Amino acid sequence: MTTTRRVKSISAGVPTIEGAGVHLKRAFGYHEVPQFDPFLMLDDFHTSAPDEYLAGFPWHPHRGIETITYILEGLVEHGDSMGNKGVIGAGDVQWMTAGSGIIHQEMPQISPTGTMWGFQFWTNLPASQKMMPPRYRDLKAADIPVVTLDNGVTARVISGEMNGVQGPVTEIVIDPVLMDIMMPPATNFTLPAKEGYTVLAYTLTGAAVFDRQGNPVGPEHVVLFEQSGTDVQISTGNEATRFLFLSGKPLNEPVAWRGPIVMNSQEELRVAFEEYQRGTFVK
């Protein structure tokens, strides 16, 4: 039996400044734990002013989480304590498992289009894998399949599956779905949702209705669905819309979070920051 989820909450991104001075909108973060479990944070950096993004995110540590960076416009140069380095651009994804600890930097470059637009998600790792070895999945735009449906809906499938097409990011413990979806005007669309999983959408352009009882939701809003139900139904009116769709299996574990490190206890946080100060953070 299929049941359609209702919307639990809709909230607008909150302007904030992170890193060395990057202006962004925080869709959700520290204060929303645990309702977005296993997702911890979603930041949207979208500006055409270089002084609002060029300062970037200089060297900083992470432990106990995964960070996912998805770029729509612009260029971001990255490097880490394992010697990895490179540049991601429009349509590219970097899925980094910090695990036991990594020190890295992410430095936006002057955008070829004049606009920098990208997202960073943080997802939690379970206690059993918080100290796993760090790893990367660098995905170029050409590596990410695009599915086009008969009604004109298109989806870039980063992780998860649509119409038998599997995204390239697999074997992640939270069983994530991450898609970039575009809907034409006057269109209805049903997306499957695994029972008990956390499901949300983040609106980019246009407007859409995310349940039958709702009003259109415009850009830069996060839509969190109720936990129960096997699908979500989305419809557009006179405008086309674009949104990110996320789903993941909740961990239901304690969260101890300070800055760039997320563990399960205050003692684990204390150890992590002590190791960072001593220079023994990277294993």
In a domain, 283, yes or no: no
Total of domains in the chain = 1
Q: What's the gap between Cα 13 and its chain centre? A: 14
Q: What is the pLDDT of residues 212-268, one digit of tens each?
A: 878 999 999 999 999 999 999 999 999 999 999 999 999 999 999 999 999 999 999
- What was the pLDDT predicted at 170? 86
Q: What is the pLDDT of residues 169-194, one digit of tens each?
A: 987 889 999 999 999 999 999 999 99
In this prediction the pTM is 0.96
C-alpha dihedral, 260 to 264 to 265 to 268, nearest 10°? -60
CATH number for the domain that contains residue 93? 2.60.120.10
In a domain, 28, yes or no: yes
Q: What is the mean pLDDT of the chain?
A: 96
The SS3 call for residue 31 is: helix
Nearest CA to 111 among 24, 68, 47?
A: 47
Cβ contact 248:200 at 8 Å: no
Task: Indicate if the pLDDT at residue 115 is higher than 90.
Answer: yes
- What was the pLDDT predicted at 137? 86
217-222: long-range contacts, CB 8 A cutoff, minimum separation 24: 217/10, 220/12, 220/13, 220/25, 220/27, 220/44, 221/10, 221/11, 221/12, 221/13, 221/27, 222/10, 222/11, 222/13, 222/27, 222/28, 222/42
In a domain, 273, yes or no: yes
- What was the pLDDT predicted at 46? 97
In a domain, 2, yes or no: no
Residue 196: pLDDT band with limits 50, 70, 90: very high
Task: Give the DSSP letter of residue 217.
Answer: B
Nearest CA to 189 among 155, 234, 245, 148?
A: 234
Q: What is the pLDDT of residues 43-73, one digit of tens each?
A: 999 999 999 999 999 999 999 999 999 999 9
In a domain, 64, yes or no: yes
Q: What is the pLDDT of residues 83-103, one digit of tens each?
A: 888 999 999 999 999 999 999
CA–CA–CA angle 272, 278, 282 (5° rounding): 60
Range of the domain at 167: 7-278
